[in-house]
Structure 1
Amino acid sequence: MQTPKNSRSTTPLPSWRAPVAAGALSADVALPGSKSLMNRELVLAALANGPSTIRLPLHSRDTGLMVEALRSLGVGIESTGDSGPYGPDLRVTPAVLTGGAPTEGGHGLRIDCGLAGTVMRFIPPLAALATGRVTIDGDESARRRPMRTTIASLVALGVDVIDDGDGSMPFTFTGAGAVRGGAITIDASQSSQFVSGLLLSAPRFDEGLVLRHAGERLPSTPHIDMTVDALRARGVVVDQPEPGVWHVHPGPIAARDVVIEPDLSNAAPFAAAALVAGGTVRIRTWPAETTQVGADLESLLPLWGATVARDGDDLVVDGGVGVRGGATLPGLDLDLSRGGELAPALVALATLADGPSTITGIGHLRGHETDRLAALAADVNGLVADGSTAVTELEDGLRIDPRPLRGAPWAAYEDHRMATAGAILGLVVDGVDVDDIGTTAKTLPQFPELWAALVQTGDHS
């Protein structure tokens, strides 16, 4: 087993004791907006032919980093005065994009990507349209995330990039105010974000873009569908003549007012909680049609025995008596190549099953906020009561052989989905101490409060 990256063991933080469910749930959850949709719409609004309004936006670390990156390039982003339950709407006003003059250190404008994959993969093609020097950088942990494909893409588009040659941040380039575009080939095997980042800015390239993926696999294709849909909704012509090829025609990106859907991937721990604690969890305003991979929960959770039904605009997950009440969950073999971001929550369910499970199609998760395969194996195995191995890493996934569990520390590794996976297991395993629940602020700052409210609905004392 590999050692997971991003451990914070050298910087002790107050741990968060995952609350145990005292009874069957009867929860009603309204989630903030989708990070994936929000950051795509911010980029498109910044490049549009007029102002756009983003309603029910997500206000989180990842979206905040995107807002600040765009502002630093000259884009106007202001609150409208209208506010939803989780913060104000935003008005985005495009501007002539401007980088920085070379400083004494030669870096010009430094854009902080934090640990946000969408920022580090979406902003460089956009910033290449600016005039001036731009340096792309982020958290120390982000410097271990794969960026070689983004760098190679910029070079193929005629952008002069200065980097250390290791395919990671930081790297620097000087924009000339335009990008030629044309036909390029990339390997996006490590992340679909490499494709989306290029497609989003491609309408503003002089020749548009014909993009071909040449790798062995292409993970999380629904995220690319989301990008294409967002482009087409703004009047951009996008063709896909064959699988793995996208042709974005040059032209204007229409200004548009958009409403951001709730984040369905962030719904995963709340929906899974019904199977663990028992009872029902209602997720408010579940979209009838969506490109979010979290929608796959509707078909995945019944495989473990949940009843999933729509009730008006909501999705209701009924877990029966749940693991807490004595229900058994079956072992399953799942291919999650469509939606690997659901894997941490589903691995938590598989850990509580009565038989072995194999979850594959998730090898690319090694390059996320942390190596999620190694992190999940380390954390779950740390809970095994007799010290044996419950989770084994595979080349493209994990094998889970459930074992009796007991309370123990759970490392988040600066990864929001690792933190929420620990919370799921903590519903029935007393003493799961998540070392950094604050990392959920990456996409869901309200997680601790929403989770506490969820668990309290099961307190029948």
Structure 2
Amino acid sequence: MPSAEWAAPVAEGPIDATVVLPGSKSLTNRYLVLAALGRDVSRLRRPLRSRDTRLMVGALQALGVDITEVDGTDWLITPGDLTGPASIDCGLAGNVMRFVPPLAGLALGEVHFDGDAHARRRPMAPILTALRAVGVSVEDTGSPALPFTIAGRGAVPGGTVTIDASTSSQFVSGLLLSAARYERGITVRHAGQQVPSLPHIEMTVEALRDAGVDVDDSQSLTWRVEPSEVNALDVTVEPDLSNAAQFLAAAVVTGGRVHVPGWPVRTTQAGDALRDILDEMGATVHLDRAGLTVSGSGRPSGIDVDLHDASELTPVVAALCALADGPSLIRGVAHIRGHETDRLAALRTELTGLGAGVEELSDGLRITPRPLHGGTFHTYADHRMVMAGALVGLVTPGVVVEDPDTVGKTMPDFVQLWSAMVAGERPAPA
């Protein structure tokens, strides 16, 4: 049941703020898995602390990995023998349910996986089928989804697998992250429709290379990881660029200015697509060594955009489109029906409920701006829906966002940061 309702604060004028973002969830969880396989102690500097990353920490600790906090900001990860029996709570975290089972195959003992009710409806068949193909014993309830059990044997033969990763790039990333410790490594080939969020696979490949793992991605839609040791890491986690979307959009819809320090000049994060998207919607976008600054006119332009590679931006971009000066088309995101909720159906329902014209398409949304009014913005236990509702409420009095606590999945301090931004306060760095 939703825990609360939040009256989204309305901006009284142009937003002028500096917003310091917490670390990237995607990078934090990839580094954690690699550190668990490392040959020595790793240090993650400024990792994200959220429900999803704490679920990953809990999963690794259940398998025998020691993870401790140091200096109040960092995590030290000491690898050890991976053992069962263990029970893994995946929550609603796709990273946990898809990255940890390949690791659990290397454990000695049974490892049971389950999660939130909606997690049992998220796609899992490609990775479970692939694990069986490389020699991992998987016991399920007759449906290729949570709950299931990995009967770890302490080693995984590895080999070549062909999977359909068209519903989630996490299937590929999950297999690659643990493959250096497989006896023959792994070769993953994709066969099916277009793989979503390819930048996330590029992120995985770069993280593996940071840990000294040999990865060959020279052939299209084929990835080869050679068996090898995994080096310890000492890395600072980049800010989570996808979590910047609603803050930067606030500048656009209020005719204000928002600065995000520490925005990387080069990154594999899909959220970097915000720079081009906001530019196309009429914002002024400036990136330098100090970070990213976005200024807006108060009325974004309509857009025709393919978000296939940055689909996590869809809820906030859809909210922006509902506030634009003309119709918009968001394409290439059919796969987000299998995310925390069916995001296309949820966005159509909630934006329509506030007065927007929204047509749900097979792979996206057609949005026609109309005068908006207040009302309850339901969030379906989906953190991105909270962010979208907050943005609409910034310029639409009377919007009440349901269950704001669900944003703890990736950004526990979101409500405080958002409220401080609207109030013109300067919160302490995250």
Tell me the TM-score normalized by structure 2.
0.97
Alignment match of 2:48 (pick from 41, 58, 61): 58
Are positions 1:447 and 2:414 aligned together?
Answer: yes
Secondary structure (helix, strand or coil) at the match of 1:99 reads coil
Superimposed CA distance per residue, residues 89-126 of structure 1 (whole angstroms, 9 cap, x where no aligned partner) = 100000010011xxxxxxxx210000000000000000
Secondary structure (helix, strand or coil) at the match of 1:229 reads helix
Superimposed CA distance per residue, residues 285-313 of structure 1 (whole angstroms, 9 cap, x where no aligned partner) = 11111100111111110111110112432
Superimposed CA distance per residue, residues 43-89 of structure 1 (whole angstroms, 9 cap, x where no aligned partner) = 00000111100001111000000000000000010112x13xxxx21
Per the alignment, residue 33 of structure 1 pairs with: 23
Give the superposition deviation at 1:13.
3.2
Contact persistence 1:365–1:371 (CA under 8 A):
yes
State how far apart, in whole Å, the 1-side matches of 2:32 and 2:4 are.
34
Secondary structure (helix, strand or coil) at the match of 2:160 reads strand
User: What's the Cα RMSD here?
Assistant: 1.1
Per the alignment, residue 253 of structure 2 pairs with: 276
Are positions 1:344 and 2:315 aligned together?
Answer: yes
State how far apart, in whole Å, the 2-side matches of 1:329 and 1:434 are.
23
One-letter code of the match for 1:139? D
Alignment of 1:122-271 (within 5 A): 122-271=99-248
Secondary structure (helix, strand or coil) at the match of 1:115 reads coil
Per the alignment, residue 371 of structure 1 pairs with: 342
Give the superposition deviation at 1:128.
0.7
Alignment match of 2:61 (pick from 71, 76, 100): 71
Give the superposition deviation at 1:403.
1.5
State how far apart, in whole Å, the 2-side matches of 1:116 and 1:47 are.
20
Per the alignment, residue 428 of structure 2 pairs with: none
Contact persistence 1:391–1:400 (CA under 8 A):
yes
State how far apart, in whole Å, the 2-side matches of 1:250 and 1:74 are.
22
Are positions 1:414 and 2:385 aligned together?
Answer: no
Superimposed CA distance per residue, residues 329-373 of structure 1 (whole angstroms, 9 cap, x where no aligned partner) = 322111111100011110011111122111011111001000100
Superimposed CA distance per residue, residues 269-297 of structure 1 (whole angstroms, 9 cap, x where no aligned partner) = 00011111121000011111110011111
Per the alignment, residue 103 of structure 1 pairs with: none
Are positions 1:293 and 2:288 aligned together?
Answer: no
Give the superposition deviation at 1:14.
2.2
Contact persistence 2:265–2:288 (CA under 8 A):
no
Contact persistence 1:287–1:313 (CA under 8 A):
no
One-letter code of the match for 2:223? W
Alignment: residue pair count: 425
Per the alignment, residue 433 of structure 1 pairs with: 400
Alignment match of 1:43 (pick from 22, 33, 38): 33
Per the alignment, residue 94 of structure 2 pairs with: 117
Give the superposition deviation at 1:12.
4.8
What percentage of aligned pairs have identical amino acids? 56
Are positions 1:313 and 2:290 aligned together?
Answer: yes
Secondary structure (helix, strand or coil) at the match of 1:339 reads helix
- Name the CA shift for 1:258/1:12 in 2 (closer, same or farther; >3 Å): closer
Per the alignment, residue 304 of structure 2 pairs with: 333
Superimposed CA distance per residue, residues 248-282 of structure 1 (whole angstroms, 9 cap, x where no aligned partner) = 00001101211000000000000011111121000
Give the superposition deviation at 1:171.
0.6
One-letter code of the match for 2:283? A
Are positions 1:362 and 2:347 aligned together?
Answer: no
State how far apart, in whole Å, the 1-side matches of 2:195 and 2:163 are.
11
Contact persistence 2:27–2:237 (CA under 8 A):
yes
State how far apart, in whole Å, the 2-side matches of 1:209 and 1:313 are.
40
Contact persistence 2:122–2:145 (CA under 8 A):
yes
Give the superposition deviation at 1:39.
0.1
Alignment match of 1:392 (pick from 330, 349, 359): 359
Give the superposition deviation at 1:164.
2.2
Are positions 1:381 and 2:371 aligned together?
Answer: no
Contact persistence 2:101–2:150 (CA under 8 A):
no
Secondary structure (helix, strand or coil) at the match of 2:84 reads coil
One-letter code of the match for 2:37? L
State how far apart, in whole Å, the 2-side matches of 1:441 and 1:284 are.
22
Secondary structure (helix, strand or coil) at the match of 1:288 reads coil
State how far apart, in whole Å, the 2-side matches of 1:96 and 1:457 are.
50
Name stretches of at least 5 consecutive residues in structure 2 with no aligned partner: 426-430
Secondary structure (helix, strand or coil) at the match of 1:267 reads helix
State how far apart, in whole Å, the 2-side matches of 1:14 and 1:186 are.
41
One-letter code of the match for 2:108? T
Alignment match of 2:80 (pick from 76, 79, 95): 95
Contact persistence 2:45–2:75 (CA under 8 A):
yes
Superimposed CA distance per residue, residues 395-446 of structure 1 (whole angstroms, 9 cap, x where no aligned partner) = 1111111121100100111111011000000011111111111111101001
Secondary structure (helix, strand or coil) at the match of 1:241 reads coil
